Chains A and B, each alone.
Chain A
Amino acid sequence: MEKWENNKAWFLVLPVFLIVAFSAIIPLMTVVNYSVQDIFGPGNAVFVGTEWFEEVLRDTRLHDALGRQFLFSGLVLLIEIPLGILVALAMPKRGWGVSASLITLALPLLIPWNVIGTIWIIFTRPDIGLFGVAVNGLDLLSVPFDHTARPIYAWITLMAMEVWHWTPLVALLCYAGLRAIPEAYYQAAKIDGASALAVFRYIQLPKMRGVLTIAVLLRFMDSFLIYAEPFALTGGGPGNTTTFLSIYLVKIAVGQFDLGPAAAFSLIYFLIVLLLSFIFYQVLLNVGKGEKR
């Protein structure tokens, strides 16, 4: 659709700009302020330039946390996006099943994040949790399953929780995209004798690009910033093996109250998310544009 060119449209956007800017700009500037000063107390701060940034960039524990964060977010996207698409493809298209599926999918999304972590603690307990008992009942593991015992188990538990919690969001969004495809497309494909795979590749996938952009970006941002769930479930352990960036950040900011380094860390963290989101956004916006008919 061609758009009208009209700069007066700014008046419609202005209220949104103001309400978001109220909460966004002043806190951001304050954090920038912290990041270049050494603060001893109220009204007692010294300008230190880029010292905190250099200190943070040299911090090896931060590098480890960043690596873990990339692994975690990468796994999240690799599992949740395809699984969400599959669920959306399998969902019924009409009848009572639609409402039932939508409601079932939405339930995990409505539980507060700290509660999610707490439920999964008991759900995966090897003595009284369903998941823990079931996994140990299979008797496949040399060391009994307990997410506090071994890093790999902690990771499996976290991934299971994350996939359980957020795949429904991807599925809901993809379902919306699929329902928007006019029936005529499918009829045309049927006449051409297209296989199910071809229908998916050339009709459903391109038509889902918009919703997939939202899904990938939301899942990337939220998994990269994840805090409440792993904090409640593993507290970053065993050792530091599930200490993600935000958990490490809170350790510096609240635990040690090092406001300067924490602020510098936050800004670097923010820029990483921003840069990667921008790349995802541009790629998803432009991919496959050439083959559009």
Chain B
Amino acid sequence: MKNRKRYIALAVYFVLLMLPIYWMLTMSLRTNADILSSFSYYPKNLTFTNYIKIFTDRAWYSGYINSLIYVTMNTVISLSFALPAAYAFSRFKFLGDGQMFFWLLTNRMAPAAVFLLPYFQLYSTVGLIDTHIAVALAHCLFNVPLAVWILEGFMSGIPREIDETAFIDGYSFPRFFITLFIPLIRAGVGVTAFFCFMFSWVELLFARTLTVTNAKPIVATMTRTISATGLDWGLMAAAGTLTIVPGALVIWFVRNHMAKGFALGRV
């Protein structure tokens, strides 16, 4: 009885959570004139023109490809740099470890607006403007510290005896780390990858500042829907709906890892 009440409350919450997304979906299946002329709970005249435009116009679909490229790069870079560092923080006491840890976190705290100009100058100087790697590197600023933080939690949950036994058995550190230790926290890596993917995927300011055309992300392309006649709501909604798809696919494939990772807990 108590459980049933709890699940009903949870179901209500989930329905509320889905409402704005449902609204975006219905708008994406209507024409602009239809959206603005009348209120309706569901699309009465179903149309796919918004989606067809996105899939046939290079300016649109290349935005998704660019975003996917730099987000993937960022996730891979963040994880491969953060894994050894998280191990160091979870296993060792060293000079300035606490300060270093907090300094990493401070990189999430700067207001982006004024920093964008120096960013542009810095990446111009090293010749990376309008490349995918530039955005991937810039996003490391906030993703690497978060990855270190989350992974450190998972690693601290693994008893140190495992490391000691492996070293007695004659494992070198790199071999132990890659073949034994990382598989142990596989689920934690999955959870971390999800967070890196998510924060890189939704970020707008850096991605827009560091790209021109070749690496222009979908979030920047979407500002195109604002034209002289006002917002093209249908097209915007279709593009917005499609931005959820890659992330939803990622979660779908790692859902068991995530469930397991969350079961391991110790984030």
Chain A residues with CB under 8 Å of chain B are 1, 3-10, 12-13, 15-17, 19-20, 22-24, 26-28, 30-31, 34, 87, 90-92, 98-99, 101-115, 118-120, 122-123, 127-131, 133, 164, 168, 172-173, 175-181, 210-211, 214, 217-218, 221-222, 225, 227-228, 245-246, 249-250, 253-254, 259, 262-263, 265-266, 269-270, 273-274, 277-278, 281
Asked whether A12 lies within 8 Å of B118 as measured between CB atoms, the reply is no
18 more A-B residue pairs beyond the given contacts A3-B93, A115-B239, A127-B39, with a C-beta to C-beta distance below 8 A:
A9-B88, A10-B88, A12-B84, A16-B85, A20-B104, A20-B145, A30-B121, A87-B10, A103-B255, A107-B18, A109-B247, A113-B203, A120-B20, A133-B39, A164-B16, A211-B153, A214-B267, A273-B110
Contacts of A92 in B (CB 8 A): 7
With known contacts A90-B6, A108-B21, A128-B38, A26–B248 Cβ distance under 8 A: no
Asked whether A110 lies within 8 Å of B91 as measured between CB atoms, the reply is no
Asked whether A274 lies within 8 Å of B198 as measured between CB atoms, the reply is no
Contacts of A214 in B (CB 8 A): 149-150, 267
* Those of B12-28 within 8 Å (CB) of chain A: 13-14, 16-21, 23-24, 27
Asked whether B240 lies within 8 Å of A118 as measured between CB atoms, the reply is yes
Q: Which 6 A-B residue pairings sit nearest by Cβ, starting from the closest?
A: A180-B265, A110-B247, A9-B92, A30-B118, A12-B88, A27-B118
Interface assignment of B52: CB less than 8 Å from any CB of chain A: no
Q: CA separation between A112 and B267, bound complex, in Å?
A: 24
What is the minimal beta-carbon distance from B4 to any residue of chain A, in angstroms? Answer: 11
Q: CA separation between A178 and B263, bound complex, in Å?
A: 8
Asked whether B36 lies within 8 Å of A128 as measured between CB atoms, the reply is yes
Asked whether A266 lies within 8 Å of B111 as measured between CB atoms, the reply is yes
Asked whether A102 lies within 8 Å of B258 as measured between CB atoms, the reply is yes
Interface assignment of B256: CB less than 8 Å from any CB of chain A: yes
* Those of B231-267 within 8 Å (CB) of chain A: 231, 233, 236-237, 239-240, 243-244, 247-248, 251-252, 255-256, 258-259, 261-267
What is the minimal beta-carbon distance from A210 to any residue of chain B, in angstroms? Answer: 6
Interface assignment of B148: CB less than 8 Å from any CB of chain A: yes
Most chain A C-beta atoms within 10 Å of own C-beta, residue among B138, B223, B267 = B267
With known contacts A23-B141, A90-B10, A225-B111, A114–B222 Cβ distance under 8 A: yes
Asked whether A27 lies within 8 Å of B198 as measured between CB atoms, the reply is no
Asked whether A26 lies within 8 Å of B122 as measured between CB atoms, the reply is yes
Contacts of A274 in B (CB 8 A): 106, 109
Chain B residues with CB under 8 Å of chain A are 6-7, 9-10, 13-14, 16-21, 23-24, 27, 35-36, 38-39, 41, 77, 81-82, 84-85, 87-89, 91-95, 97, 100, 102, 104-115, 117-119, 121-122, 137-138, 140-141, 144-146, 148-150, 153, 156-157, 159-160, 191, 194, 198, 201-205, 218-219, 222-223, 231, 233, 236-237, 239-240, 243-244, 247-248, 251-252, 255-256, 258-259, 261-267
Contacts of B14 in A (CB 8 A): 101, 104
Contacts of B38 in A (CB 8 A): 128
The secondary-structure label for the interface of chain B is helix
Chain B residue nearest to A114 (CB atoms) is: B204
Partner of B23 from the list A99, A129, A266 (CB cut-off 8 Å) is: A129
Partner of B113 from the list A99, A119, A218, A254 (CB cut-off 8 Å) is: A254
Q: CA separation between A133 and B19, bound complex, in Å?
A: 13
Asked whether A176 lies within 8 Å of B91 as measured between CB atoms, the reply is no
Asked whether A110 lies within 8 Å of B92 as measured between CB atoms, the reply is no
The secondary-structure label for the interface of chain A is helix
Contacts of B194 in A (CB 8 A): 106
Contacts of B233 in A (CB 8 A): 122
Asked whether B7 lies within 8 Å of A5 as measured between CB atoms, the reply is no
Contacts of A227 in B (CB 8 A): 111-113, 205
**Can you give 24 A-B contacts (C-beta < 8 A)?**
A6-B92, A10-B88, A12-B85, A23-B140, A23-B141, A28-B110, A34-B114, A114-B222, A123-B20, A128-B36, A128-B38, A172-B262, A173-B267, A176-B191, A177-B266, A179-B263, A179-B264, A211-B153, A214-B150, A214-B267, A246-B112, A246-B113, A262-B114, A277-B109
Asked whether A19 lies within 8 Å of B198 as measured between CB atoms, the reply is no
What is the minimal beta-carbon distance from B82 to any residue of chain A, in angstroms? Answer: 6
With known contacts A22-B137, A107-B21, A112-B204, A17–B244 Cβ distance under 8 A: no
Q: CA separation between A218 and B87, bound complex, in Å?
A: 22
Q: CA separation between A157 and B139, bound complex, in Å?
A: 29
Chain B residue nearest to A27 (CB atoms) is: B118
